[in-house]
Structure 1
């Protein structure tokens, strides 16, 4: 028996799903500030240390499409519960690692678990909230918790590191365990599919999953070792081959893992590309600004984290409201305004860094950045999910989350390359890096403005009747 049919039950379901979403996003960034302490205790070389962060993104980005399709085929609640249990177990195990390889393995397993949890959670949210405004508000809250988890991960990681760096790995476990106990009572049961369950596309899974893994690995490795490194270009070449094979397999399979026709949905395709671009630009800026605040200004990791928390507060409170606006008035205009505000923040940072008080620099750049992110993030989700069938919601969610992860990796690698090469060309590394981000953000604004037009985001009948 579940409670999600009632308004109170729907609220509890939203709380639980948002908690899981917060944990998934938080773990992307929470360990970053603990790296010096990890290196001191485990003796990890610098070349291996970055994989304590990257392993999570590798598992998360590489398994998202598989996670979304598995949830659609085998049941959203079932997959959510199993993957959340694995996430909790890997979190606890992380507190007992005694070497670099075991730490990286724990982080990789957590990332893979998050890749199954995230699309299942979003699909469950769509099942619980069927009506337009209710769904928009729920999506806004869900989006704001994900964005807030990502932004506040550094702050929470810095606070946990005061106790022990191991606390950064373990601190999500209690929340995950509580969610596991509550989930059977508040989440809707998986609806039995009429007729025979769709056959699982193993050929598709065995080509796209390693293809995405190698692609994410290659992009991540490029940020660490450069584009000329054999592991970088070798992985990317293998990824291209596997993804090409995947497209051939999907075009011939009677029940494909990813029906290629889904990419003909204009809103979904535009939203995915925009998600990759605007998230990538933000991650690139965050990387360079973090180095500037710590290395140039001498701020601690904890203080640096609070700089980004300022924008996170904007996201936390404004994203639910903007989701409702996107649902009622359309998404393209709101996304365009959101990325324009973000672009103005990056441009201001380039012009003002070193010329104004650092506290003023943070405040005046984070306000438009936070408001713009609060506009864009939920609008992208509303647009991406507004014209997909309920039995494809997990897949569509997986595509969207994969776009966020892969876009972040690509732009981060490019921004890192500009940042590293700038001094040898006579430019300031920080100015050059953020200038690259600012120029790219202007192009993102133009791309957003070219999106599909509509008076409001359509709500499929399947969702209207979900309750």
Structure 2
């Protein structure tokens, strides 16, 4: 990677991988602000409307482990290209949906395709960039585009909705097709295996994938229908049974889909826990704040989306620098500082609610939240991927992305439950929801601070410490 040509090729590869990562993350939130327009045109009930958002998360979170393992076995570039092609096709089909079921189906397929492209893209990044500062910087850029895609998704969705709500579904297709056209000429070819290809663990796949699907469905359904609804607890019971069976299967398989020894890697396990918690807290806060700004303050969907834009700008500008710092000095300290800043932002929002001007409230809370998110997001990726070898990078990436998606779903369901129960307990709805998020953010800070420490210079990302 020392020649200018290689640097240029690596830079173009990074651009394509970051673009795909941005699209995957953007689609989680971009449709949210278009829901009123969708409901008006398609005549959807509120429960069906919620699944226009949740179907994407269901497919994304449910298939991530399968996507990561498939990429490790069948080739990172091959899986990335096929996944991106399906994503583009599903995006284009969104312009022709004419009913709730077709809309939900298109969103589900997009989520499933993202579950294959995201871990494959991160594994490709590790193979493109050698050890050292170049890899840390590339990882920071990759993390920043993913986080920015999620944070800025609402802004882009608000702009697209001015034209048509269908534009929120279709707008990623041209970018995906351009990326797909360039990727075969830029991304490294999959390595030829010297020995036989590892056998695919079908028993593991048919237990963990529906298990995760049921789990994500259960916690998502709880957000709309409550924890006592039959579909909610039925799905969670089924998920528990399948996931338990999965662990039994994996202990007996010669080449398991998820080698259980991977959970003994301290940095990876700690990073996954922190990822689920801090992303979940952010999703829960976004839920409460969005409703407050629109229902109480009276802001439009576009203005509400713009109120979160500062966080996205912070992530895009600062995340690459924080990734390099995490690589050089260890991720736990930076992770701790990042979660502390985010907790400060949530506490400021709770204390300033109904006391400060909404614009000032948004500004004062977004500064520490944005900087904290920019610190934490790349730090958990550096920590997670520093603990595995390259042949398990797809699986580790799938675990990490799954932690983000499932953590977001769990905390959102819990925040929704607090939000709904607050009036019956005599509490202010928004204050109760925000206080729950703030309290959980302090707990996340404590978990981050208890992470493994580096007693010497950390290993390069993608190479496990000895």
Aligned to 1:458: 459
Aligned to 2:177: 177
Aligned to 1:425: 425
- Which deviations, in whole Å up to 9, do the C-alpha atoms of 1:58-92 show, x marking residues without a partner? 00000000000000000000000000000000000
Name the SS of the counterpart of 1:356 in structure 2: coil
Aligned to 1:24: 24
- Which deviations, in whole Å up to 9, do the C-alpha atoms of 1:234-290 show, x marking residues without a partner? 000000000000000001100000000000000000000000000000000000000
Q: Decide whether aligned partners of structure 1 residues 461 and 173 sit closer, same or farther in structure 2, where only a CA change above 3 A counts.
A: closer
Name the SS of the counterpart of 1:255 in structure 2: coil
- Which deviations, in whole Å up to 9, do the C-alpha atoms of 1:386-419 show, x marking residues without a partner? 0201110000000000000000000000011001
How far apart, CA to CA, are the structure 2 residues paired with 1:394 and 1:53? 26
Matches within 5 A, 1:68-467: 68-454=68-454, 455-459=456-460
How far apart, CA to CA, are the structure 2 residues paired with 1:99 and 1:87? 20
- How far the C-alpha of 1:459 sits from its partner, in A, is 1.8
**1:331 and 1:456 in contact (8 A); partners too:** no
How far apart, CA to CA, are the structure 1 residues paired with 2:367 and 2:170? 32
Gaps of 5+ in 2: none
Large movers: runs of 4+ above 4 Å: 460-464
- How far the C-alpha of 1:457 sits from its partner, in A, is 3.1
Gaps of 5+ in 1: none
Name the SS of the counterpart of 2:427 in structure 1: coil
Name the SS of the counterpart of 1:257 in structure 2: coil
How far apart, CA to CA, are the structure 1 residues paired with 2:103 and 2:446? 42
How far apart, CA to CA, are the structure 1 residues paired with 2:328 and 2:173? 37
**1:147 and 1:315 in contact (8 A); partners too:** yes
- How far the C-alpha of 1:456 sits from its partner, in A, is 3.9
Q: Decide whether aligned partners of structure 1 residues 319 and 283 sit closer, same or farther in structure 2, where only a CA change above 3 A counts.
A: same
How far apart, CA to CA, are the structure 2 residues paired with 1:356 and 1:37? 31
- How far the C-alpha of 1:157 sits from its partner, in A, is 0.5
How many aligned positions are there? 462
Q: Decide whether aligned partners of structure 1 residues 238 and 197 sit closer, same or farther in structure 2, where only a CA change above 3 A counts.
A: same
How far apart, CA to CA, are the structure 2 residues paired with 1:356 and 1:418? 23
How far apart, CA to CA, are the structure 2 residues paired with 1:255 and 1:208? 15
**2:393 and 2:462 in contact (8 A); partners too:** no
RMSD over aligned CA atoms reads 1.4
Q: Decide whether aligned partners of structure 1 residues 308 and 353 sit closer, same or farther in structure 2, where only a CA change above 3 A counts.
A: same
- Which deviations, in whole Å up to 9, do the C-alpha atoms of 1:306-365 show, x marking residues without a partner? 001111111110000000000000000000000000001101111011111111101110
How far apart, CA to CA, are the structure 2 residues paired with 1:44 and 1:411? 26
How far apart, CA to CA, are the structure 2 residues paired with 1:233 and 1:374? 36
- How far the C-alpha of 1:461 sits from its partner, in A, is 7.9
How far apart, CA to CA, are the structure 2 residues paired with 1:80 and 1:151? 23
How far apart, CA to CA, are the structure 1 residues paired with 2:346 and 2:302? 22
- How far the C-alpha of 1:131 sits from its partner, in A, is 2.0
- How far the C-alpha of 1:370 sits from its partner, in A, is 0.3
Aligned to 1:65: 65
What TM-score, normalized by structure 1, do the two folds share?
Answer: 0.97
Name the SS of the counterpart of 2:96 in structure 1: coil
- How far the C-alpha of 1:4 sits from its partner, in A, is 11
